[in-house]
Homo-oligomer: A and B are copies of this chain.
Amino acid sequence: MTDALSELDFGDDGLVPVVAQDVDTEAVLMLAYANEEAVERTVETGRAHYYSRSRDELWEKGATSGHTQAVESVRLDCDGDALLYRVHQDGGACHTGFRSCFHRTVEGETVGEQVFDPDDVYE
């Protein structure tokens, strides 16, 4: 691991929250979590890896859907307990077919575009 990575604070549960941001549109695509192995694989391969808390396993984004994230850079925040993946998003980041998981406001308004039909992607 590089010097900056060694400063990462994975907390009691061994995870850090990760924000994925689209470098092409600057949209915030999703928030997920990574353990140390997920961060290492992301840096080594240039493909976004996360840790699924519900499935309790390492997870490469797009492994099922084909909607991968090519990682341009990984940034950490001032106190080392959050990460920012700057990515080129293939297709949509959201399992609902939207480009971004943040596709609705608290007032219930839909923002952003649906770029694929989830029924065509997930069986």
Contacts and interface: CB of A to CB of B under 8 A. Distances in A.
Interface string A70-105: 000111111100101000000000111010011111
B75 A4 contact: no
Stoichiometry, as copies per complex, reads 2
Contact of A98 (B39, B43, B78, B103): B78
Interface residues of A, number: 36
B107 A84 contact: no
A19 interface: yes
A28 interface: yes
Given A75-B105, A75-B106, A19 B31 contact: yes
**Which of A98, A102, A111 has most B Cβ within 10 Å?**
A102
